[in-house]
Structure 1
Amino acid sequence: MGNQLTTEKVTECKKSVKAIHDVMDIIGGKWKISIIACLCYHPMRFSEVLKEIEGISGKVLSKELKDLEMNQLVTRTVLDTQPITVEYAITEYGRTLKEVTSVIADWGMKHRQRIMS
């Protein structure tokens, strides 16, 4: 009985680790979760996202937005304005990550307070 429980836990652990790796392949890295978090509040133009996320370059932001769009987390809309404006919005599927971003932000604030005191 003990060996079966251990085997089940190992199998469950492996499944969890694989799922985490899948998630990190999509939203991992330094910037993607920040981009998702910003867009969960409201659609933004490229320049607004660039200003909102301190330290990201335009080139990196462009690449990350393309990756997020490819994974159906973000939509890109070209608006009929002069000059042309591009707006990014979180998709319904992407919105399912809002709770994850909130938990990460809450933990980050608590961690910062702990380390700073």
Structure 2
Amino acid sequence: MGCLPDLAHDGVGEEDTESRWSCAEEIVPDGGQCEITFTFDSPQDITDVQVAFWKGDERTRTLKVKINGDKIGEYESYPGSTFNSFGIQENGVHTVAMESVGIDADDWISLLEVRFMVDP
């Protein structure tokens, strides 16, 4: 567990709670937002972004999503789904950034897994 970006996209899935990215604003240098950025080696055509939130059935967490630096929208965790589908479809994606929204400085946001569905 920890604030290491590689723990959020390692293919292990929601079964392994040691495989997750976690962040609280109080531990971010200079009091910034909790943000994780994924960078692709080559541009990708994304057909969906799916996120498994830790304790997603017990609490609501919101992520602001930016693709190639442009805000796409804000998406909440929702009960009854292991992976929350954001329905994002974008071509030529180099980076996907996710930033916490509306949590207290001492609250945590944790992502068990992030999946990028891409066109082959």
Q: What TM bracket, shorter-length normalisation?
A: under 0.3
**Is the radius of gyration larger for structure 1 or structure 2?**
1
Greater helix share, 1 or 2?
Answer: 1
* Structure 1 length-normalised TM: 0.28
* Structure 2 length-normalised TM: 0.28
* Greater relative contact order (CA < 8 Å, ≥ 6 in sequence): 2
